[in-house]
Amino acid sequence: MGEEAKVEVLPEEFDPKGIQGPIGPESNGVEVVLGRNVHKMCLSIQEPETDEEVTGEREAYMASVLARYRKSLVERTQHHLGYPLNLDFDYGALVQLQHFSINNLGDPFIESNYGVHSREFEVGVLDWFARLWELEKNEYWGYITNCGTEGNLHGILVGREVFPDGILYASMESHYSVFKAARMYRMECVQINTLVSGEIDCADFLEKLLLNKEKPAIVNVNIGTTVKGAVDDLDRVIKTLEEAGYKDRFYIHCDGALFGLMMPFVKQAPKVTFKKPIDSVSVSGHKFVGCPMPCGVQITRLKHINDFSRNVEYLASRDATIMGSRNGHGPIFLWYTLNRKGYKGFQKEVQKCLRNAHYLKDRLREAKISAMLNELSSTVVFERPKDEGFIRRWQLACQGNIAHVVVMPNVSIKKLDNFLKELVQERANWYQDEKIQSPCVAADIGKENCICVVHKN
């Protein structure tokens, strides 16, 4: 095997610019072909040899793969702007725990037979979030999920258990996991139109509620949409439900995957609180909080869970979660970062993100690039860069004619300046110093934010 292993080249995804080989349009890294498994990226596994000399070579080969992988991660992290991940963290103190198989299977509040768990950290984190969203300790239930998607799957499932014949209402700009939940649970789902900002259109919501009055409503409210960072007006959603005659016949799940933790620290933002008639809130732990592994937090009202859960004898616990085994490391990372930063630390980070997001939007507009920033958001939406290589290099998330940068705590002014400089330079080539017209994005972000040839005045 030795020879073969030595000559194996790493796939191009491992060779970003500045390390080895190109990345960009000339790279054939990512290709999406629906219905086909494009197998371009693979570090194949080879069976171990019994010959020790060869084994030594194998170890050296694996070490070199990992070293190059690490290098590419450093580079990719430097050029990351499109996905809402806070990459600013230091969890060195937790390295010592890597040797343990920490698993929180079962209910966080009921000790199971498996002793290598981190439930005490988990409950500490849950208490912190319950306090943030104003639900008493004896009235909430929750758990650390695998991600924001699992939080949505759980919240909507609890809603369906509370109202088995309920209809799921979600704005068109809700995350795809919400519609996946509807498919998984075979729920009737009604999509609501959105405003240009990306917020739910409550006039359309009212109309659709009135068409289905005989069935209760399970509503997904976005505390920050994926693409435009729009925050649905929770108070208006509640008012609309009441106006349509749904009093006490609705369940509200708040999808706060990104902004669930930012909103409480924005003064003018509508408050997400269990003092209002909401039923569950979820947030991703790897986004604003900044965990190096996917995780999330789900909080709901205890009264809902008592009907929903089942006892499991072999765990000596209760089953009220979506997953079986649950990552026990995640809660420790969350506990660690919450302890270090506290409410005040997060508040500062939120303010910095909002400031930097405004900076980016203003610079884009100065450079005559169509751009929009929702008032409560750090997601800057702008005209989709013309070149796929550029999109990949900066890992921008795009939809149709628009792209976005999510300004997280690790996104400094310096990083934004580097990005802007490159974008402006490249754009001059793409549009040949305005000889070619840039696209109109008025339909996506409003004509007041569009600087195409028609709307620039």
Ligand X SMILES: Cc1ncc(COP(=O)(O)O)c(C=O)c1O
Catalytic residue ranges: 377
Decide if residue 175 touches ligand X (CB under 6 A).
yes
Using rule CB under 6 A, residue 258 touches ligand X: yes
Question: Which of 23, 130, 147, 237 is in the footprint of ligand X by CB under 6 A?
Answer: 147
Q: Which stretch binds ligand X (CB under 6 A): 197-205, 224-232, 313-321, 350-358?
A: 224-232
283 binds ligand X (CB under 6 A): no
Residue 226 binds to ligand X (criterion: CB under 6 A) = yes
String marking each residue 291-320 x if it binds ligand X according to CB under 6 A = ---x-x------------------------
Nearest partner of 407 among 399, 392, 398, 396, judged by Cα: 396
Whichever of 204 and 255 has its CB closer to ligand X, that residue is 255
Query: How many Cα neighbours within 13 Å face the side chain of 127?
Result: 12
Q: Let me know the angle formed at the C-alpha of 382 by 376 and 388, rounded to the nearest 5 degrees.
A: 135
Please, what is the minimum distance in Å from the beta carbon of residue 3 to ligand X?
Answer: 42
Pairwise CA distance, residues 441 & 407, whole Å: 21
Q: Does 404 bind ligand X (CB under 6 A)?
A: no
Given the rule CB under 6 A, which of 9-17, 148-156, 235-243, 435-443 is the region that contacts ligand X?
A: 148-156
Rounded to whole angstroms, the Cα distance separating 374 from 231 reads 8
177 binds ligand X (CB under 6 A): yes
Q: Give every CB contact of residue 443 below 8 A, 6+ residues apart in sequence.
A: 401
Give 225 or 438: the residue with its C-beta nearer to ligand X. 225
Phi, psi (deg, nearest 5) at residue 148: -60, -35
- Measure the CA–CA gap between 171 and 328, rounded to whole angstroms: 34
> Smallest Cα–Cα separation from 297: which of 63, 129, 153?
129
CB of 229 to ligand X, least distance (A): 9
- Give the range of 25-33, 181-189, 253-261, 425-433 binding ligand X by CB under 6 A: 253-261
> Which one of the spans 46-54, 102-110, 250-258, 371-379 is the region binding ligand X (CB under 6 A)?
250-258
Residue from 86, 194, 284, 378 touching ligand X (CB under 6 A): that is 284
C-alpha torsion 168→174→175→177, nearest 10: 10
User: Helix 234-243 crosses helix 202-211 at what angle (to 10 degrees)?
Assistant: 30
Distance CA 273, CA 264 (A): 9
Helix (H) / strand (E) element for 7: namely helix 2-7
Answer for the pair 263, 285: CB distance below 8 angstroms, yes or no: no
Residue number with CB closer to ligand X (225 or 317): 225
Name which of 257 and 262 has its Cβ closer to ligand X: 257
User: Within 13 Å, how many C-alpha atoms sit on residue 268's CB side?
Assistant: 6
Q: What is the DSSP letter of 53?
A: H
When asked if residue 149 is in the footprint of ligand X (CB under 6 A), the reply is: yes
Least spacing, CB of residue 192 vs ligand X, in Å: 15
- Interface map 105-124 toward ligand X (x if CB under 6 A): --------------------
Q: Does 280 bind ligand X (CB under 6 A)?
A: no
From 55-63, 74-82, 146-154, 199-207, give the range in contact with ligand X by CB under 6 A.
Answer: 146-154
Alpha helices in 212-247 (DSSP H): 234-243
Q: How far is the CB of 308 from ligand X (least distance, A)?
A: 21
Cβ neighbours for 439, distance < 8 A, ≥ 6 positions apart: 383, 384, 401, 452
For helices 329-366 and 413-430, the axis angle rounded to 10 degrees is 50
Residue appearing with tokens 């970003």: 16
CB of 353 to ligand X, least distance (A): 15
Contacting residue, 86, 171, 194, 225, with ligand X by CB under 6 A: 225
Taking CB atoms, the residue at the shortest distance from ligand X is 148
- Residues at the interface with ligand X (CB under 6 A): 147-149, 152, 175, 177, 222, 224-226, 255, 257-258, 284, 294, 296
